[in-house]
Structures are given as C-alpha cells and as structure tokens.
Amino acid sequence: MDPLHARYPFLAAARESVREADIGLVAIVTGDGRHPAVERGVERVRRALIDGTVRPDPETGRRWDARAELLSYPVARVLVSLVDAPGAVEKYASAEANTAYDRFTDDFRNPDDGLKSTSAKAISLDALLAEFDLASDVEELRDGYRIDVGRYLPLSSNLDGESWTLATRQLAGGTVKISAAELHELLREAVRQRVAAGLPTRVPDEIREGLTDEVAELEDTFSDVDFSQDIDVLAPDCFPPCVESLMERAQAGESLADHAEFALVSFLASANADTDELLALCGVDSDTTAKSVHYRAKRVGDESGAQYAPPSCETMQAYGECPVADDEDPTTDARCDSISHPLAYYEDALAEAGRAGE
Ligand code: SF4
C-alpha cells in the first residue's frame, strides 16, 4: 500500500487503493472486534471536531499502519455523516484540509529525494496541481504564479479577507497573479471542497448498525464540549489561567502546537473576539503565522453558526495545557475548582465583575 495514499487519502489514486484493498466497509465495521481502521476513523472524527486536525492523537502515542490510516478515511466519512453534532461535516472537511496543508507545505519544503524511507513519501506541487486538474491553469513566474481566473474564483470565494477579491488583484489575459503562499492556500481550499463533496453521505443500514457504538462514543465526547451560551463581551482580564498562559506564550513568539493554537483561537472566537482582536491577542507578528491563525479564526466560526467549542478542562488537562493541573508548579485559582469548562470560567468571571451582557 502506497504510504502517500495514507497521508493524502482524498487523492483519486488513494480511492483506487481502497478499492484494490478488496475489503469492503461492511466487512470492516461488522467484523469481530474493532478493526484498526474503525478505531482510527473514530479518532480522526474526534480530533477533527475537537482539535481541528486529523493527525493521530499525540497523547495516546498510538501509531497506525498505512492500511489502517488509508481505510480510516472512508470510515471517518461515514461516521461524520452519522454523528449528531453541529457543523460536523464543515469541521471535518476543514480539519482534513488543515492536516493536508501542513503535510504538503512540509513536503514542498522537503521534497522526496529518493533517499527517504518509503514511509515518508512526499507529494510534489506539480502532482498536487495535476490532482486538482490545475496543472494547465497555473503558470509559474519568477516571483509567484498566475492562475486562470475561472479556477481562481471558486477556490478563493470562501476565503476570508479583502486580499482575495478580484478588485485587489493584478488581472492580465484572464489570469490572476498570486504568491506561492496563496497558491498553497488555494490548494488547501481545493482539498476542503473535495472532502466536503458528497457529505453527509447516505449510509446503508448494515453499516449504520455496525457503527452504533462508535457514533454513541463520539456523541458522548462532543456533549462534553457542547457549550452553546452566547458570550458577547471581550474582557481579557476575565480569561481563565489556561488561556492567559497560551496568550502569553503566543505573544512571546512561541509556535504553539496544533491543539494549543486551536484551544486559544476557539476560546477567543467564543469570547467574542473579531479577527483583528484575535490576531492582536495572539501576538501575531509574521505573515505566515497570521495566515495560519486567520485561517483557524475563520474556520472555528462557520457560516452556519456551528462554532467550534474550545476544549473542556478535562481535555486541556489531558493535553497538559491546564496550569491548575500542573504537577510541578500548579496555579491556584478557586474558580477553577467549581467549573469544568474554560468558557464557564469566563462567564462566571464576567458575571462576578458585573460585565456580562455589557
Ligand atoms: S481548570 Fe479549566 S479553566 Fe481552569 S485553568 Fe484549567 S483548563 Fe483552564
């Protein structure tokens, strides 16, 4: 099994690999015990909806072979079609696209030189452009690229920011000038659109029944983070210690791990920060980091209002991001003893300060 397909399971060739694996979804979900592809599929959806990535959970340290990784993708698509969670499809597609983006930009920086082990096979820009039928519509220049305007528009229309509008672009001969970083953003969007296409999918009864336990397990996890109260005040002095700590680290220039950046951005978005406030509170000072945070900020609050909830205290503790639960130097905060979610802390602190609904 080609390890590249396990890293990029949305590729057309990866779909072919699944077909050639000659093991149907029914056999995977109804076999004895939980198939590794189902186990990984559950993790994929859980990570996508809670952490905004589908990378394996570093907390469990579990490694998946290429077969389980590849087969977990169709399982995850079925699971995300079955779970009852707000915005599940949109969050899942964004998380798959985010993970692919991290991987392909890394691959472009570190191309496969033929010496790498096969388990680290890289994808090239040319191959990815060809995958999305963009090869003849994107021309490389000395200082960036030109893309056919007819391809640019559907890929950029969902992206946030003035700079994506045609009015701010150099148009010539039916093409739009873009930078390399912008081309990568458009490719991320191409992945997101492909993953989202056809979701939610119709699930045959046999498969639905085979995944009853997994769907219940996922819904249980999400109920832990389903925090739906509206907060309409931004008051950083009322933030809980975990968020203060993440903000300080981000402002000091630390590159936060995916789960930490996600926790910070989703909290700030839930605490009513708009994109500019969010970038300022994260101390973003480089274009690349700004783009990453900007993208996350856009994705944590989607158009349907199905906003990502930030992780619960339990999840923050599991990630080692709760200063109150720090084994070596715990922060003391009485309010943390009475709540189970950072947003509950914030609401409580706002109420005590008489600032709720300001
Ligand atoms: S107990 Fe909860 S709110 Fe308090 S610091 Fe830890 S994660 Fe944050």
From the CA of 341, how far away is ligand 1's center (Å)? 7
Task: Say yes or no: 210 and 90 in one domain.
Answer: yes
Provide the pLDDT for residue 304.
Answer: 41
Residue 265 — very low, low, confident or very high, per pLDDT cuts 50/70/90?
A: confident
Q: Domain tally for the chain? A: 3
Domain coverage including residue 204: 3-107+200-223
Task: Say yes or no: 87 and 21 in one domain.
Answer: yes
Pocket residue to mutate for ligand 1, from 227, 242, 317, most atoms within 8 A of Cβ? 242
Single out the residue of 35, 296, 290, 9 nearest to residue 131, CA to CA.
9
Res 176 pLDDT > 90: yes
Task: Say yes or no: 207 and 165 in one domain.
Answer: no
| Any ligand 1 atom below 6 A from CB of 322 | yes
Task: Say yes or no: 38 and 133 in one domain.
Answer: no
Task: Say yes or no: 141 and 188 in one domain.
Answer: yes
DSSP string, 164-230: GSGGGS-EETTEEEE-HHHHHHHHHHHHHHHHHTTPSPP--HHHHHHTHHHHHHHHHHHHTT-----
Residue 357 lies in a domain: no
Provide the pLDDT for residue 308.
Answer: 66
Q: How far apart are CA 215 and CA 82, in angstroms?
A: 7
Which residue, by CA, sits nearest to atom 2 of ligand 1? 313
| Any ligand 1 atom below 6 A from CB of 52 | no
Q: Which two three-digit tokens encode residue 161?
A: 């920011």
Averaged pLDDT, 180-184: 95
pLDDT digits (tens, 9 = 90+) for 299-337: 555 444 446 678 888 888 878 899 999 888 888 999 999
- Cα–Cα–Cα angle for 288, 293, 294, rounded to 5 degrees: 90
Res 207 pLDDT > 80: yes
Which residue, by CA, sits nearest to atom 3 of ligand 1? 342
Task: Say yes or no: 176 and 276 in one domain.
Answer: no
